[in-house]
Structure 1
């Protein structure tokens, strides 16, 4: 009898990309690695040339975050944009411990142009220096600011979408719950890309993806412990920090949830979609066979990546009315 941990096989094309990635980036992140990871990866950096090439412009605004502390949001729109269109509020990924407001922003470029949209991306403060509830409350503060300034930003208040990937997907889900429970701002949808939503480390998928792939079980525990400290996995964790703990998912905007079959977040993401359906809500769920965490970012030309991106595009088109 074997005790080897089994996990769904990686898509062959993605598996080849993962083998190359493993040579330069270990699958496991431990607390002492956080400072070095914050120095940035030049290969993932985005500069003004990328915005120029997409025909976009950006500007920063300082706003009050949680408890009135100053944080930055950046507005991204087509150069010379006029009129009113949808708003896309972006909460970046990075396991609650790394990244900045530009992490993943290129994934919004096509929607900004196609829908004449305005994106607002928030520089929420990171754990462990700023533990829960600071990150999600910063995100909520930025959403509230966006809604309050919709007219001057040229945003249709009936078409305000929240979007985030990984930790940003968890923060987007938590912010949507806060918006529901605080009576606004109103959201037309929540785009949750492989969201990080459960701190309890009890699913099959978290046990399967351990020492393999991208963002494995130990990495996940590192991120959640940074955010929650000794509360991780205990009873004193709010649904806004870990949305998988919510027992009532009624009254939420339509959700799009995707993930890979071979990633830590698979089971919690499937369960979250199921809980939305159980509450009578609207959710579209995609579990991509053989996909590791954030595979479309690491292997964008892979066939499975193209299918993942197309599914998101189709949903965004429907939600934003194009």
Structure 2
């Protein structure tokens, strides 16, 4: 826990980005497929999906409770890591324990390309290509294509919001819900909470700006950044899947998350918003046994159950 706390207080800068990424590989080891199978409780496999235009493949890690033959609802999950770190394997143990068994659902975790090696739109296009493949190969995965929730945390939450917009606009693979946990939505970084939490939050405005600069490259700071990069840039939030948005009150990203839920409501859409009092970015990872973490988990689980049982 001490190591996690030390890392949480570290500020990400452009000069330190390469070293940050190297340390993340060591600090966040990938569990093996056998470890993810957890003694036979889960069926786990890796699937490689072609990218659009013949540009290589996207790796998916597909997991489901073992011994279940019927088609399951699917949580299509995009890992966090500020667009610059993280991997599809390390998030799965927690997701499988929290939701796969209790709710009877399958999970697909996406290994999208990271910035700055791959700039926008690489990551979101990886996520889109794999979502379309998953919907078209539901039988292979043993999932119900009519009950797909896309979700993610931090950078993954921002990607999930952008993916919902992209899927709507391209008319393909319509999910029924979007689970947006402390999502990175706005590259402009000029909300009140962004300034209020400068130097205080575990992910502050300096780290946030560094991550957005890594993703956008020369487009960082432009007036016309695509909503498929930063969902807060979208001017039309109609016809989106039901959204669950949660964020801590002591987060840099608080105000952009609240504004996004409000914009969905104003567009006539459905959103459930939770702002957890006193919580910083990544509070549930840093304090997994805290009462507020349990409350957040329970609220997310209730929403998932309602959406998937419609």
Q: Provide Cα deviations, 1:195-216, integer angstroms capped at 9, x if missing partner.
A: 0010001101111222223111
Contact preservation (8 Å) 1:101, 1:123: yes
Task: Give 1:67 deviation, angstroms.
Answer: 3.1
Measure the CA separation in 1 of the matches of 2:37 and 2:20.
24
Is 2:44 the counterpart of 1:61? Answer: no
Task: Give 1:312 deviation, angstroms.
Answer: 0.4
Q: Which residue number corresponds to residue 163 of structure 1?
A: 151
Q: Provide Cα deviations, 1:255-295, integer angstroms capped at 9, x if missing partner.
A: 00000001111000000000000000000000001000010
Residue ranges of structure 1 left out of the alignment (5+ in a row): 1-16
Q: Return the TM-score normalized by structure 2.
A: 0.92
Contact preservation (8 Å) 1:205, 1:263: yes
Measure the CA separation in 2 of the matches of 1:33 and 1:181.
37
Q: Which residue number corresponds to residue 259 of structure 2?
A: 271
Q: Which residue number corresponds to residue 234 of structure 2?
A: 246
Residue among 130, 136, 139 paired with 1:151 = 139
Is 2:17 the counterpart of 1:34? Answer: yes
Q: How does 1:66-85 map to 2 (within 5 A)?
A: 66-69=52-55, 70-85=57-72
Q: Which residue number corresponds to residue 13 of structure 1?
A: none
Is 2:204 the counterpart of 1:216? Answer: yes
Residue among 184, 203, 207 paired with 1:196 = 184
Residue ranges of structure 2 left out of the alignment (5+ in a row): none
Task: Give 1:43 deviation, angstroms.
Answer: 5.8
Task: Give 1:254 deviation, angstroms.
Answer: 0.3
Measure the CA separation in 2 of the matches of 1:67 and 1:221.
31
Measure the CA separation in 2 of the matches of 1:198 and 1:54.
41
Residue among 71, 86, 90 paired with 2:77 = 90
Contact preservation (8 Å) 2:77, 2:110: yes
Contact preservation (8 Å) 1:198, 1:244: yes
Q: How does 1:178-193 map to 2 (within 5 A)?
A: 178-193=166-181
Measure the CA separation in 1 of the matches of 2:197 and 2:25.
24
Q: Return the TM-score normalized by structure 1.
A: 0.89
Q: Which residue number corresponds to residue 250 of structure 2?
A: 262
Task: Give 1:41 deviation, angstroms.
Answer: 5.9
Kindly tell me: are residues 67 and 209 of structure 1, through their superposed partners in 2, closer, same or farther at Cα, counting changes over 3 Å?
A: farther
Measure the CA separation in 2 of the matches of 1:25 and 1:130.
25
Q: Provide Cα deviations, 1:231-264, integer angstroms capped at 9, x if missing partner.
A: 2232231111000011110000000000000111
Kindly tell me: are residues 23 and 95 of structure 1, through their superposed partners in 2, closer, same or farther at Cα, counting changes over 3 Å?
A: closer
Contact preservation (8 Å) 2:182, 2:246: yes
Is 2:123 the counterpart of 1:139? Answer: no
Q: Provide Cα deviations, 1:76-119, integer angstroms capped at 9, x if missing partner.
A: 11123311110111111110111111243334213212333221
Contact preservation (8 Å) 2:113, 2:122: yes
Deviates more, 1:78-87 or 1:267-276: 78-87
Residue among 10, 13, 35 paired with 1:49 = 35
Q: Which residue number corresponds to residue 112 of structure 2?
A: 124
CA-atom RMSD in angstroms: 1.9
Contact preservation (8 Å) 1:34, 1:98: no
Measure the CA separation in 2 of the matches of 1:175 and 1:23.
32
Contact preservation (8 Å) 1:115, 1:320: no
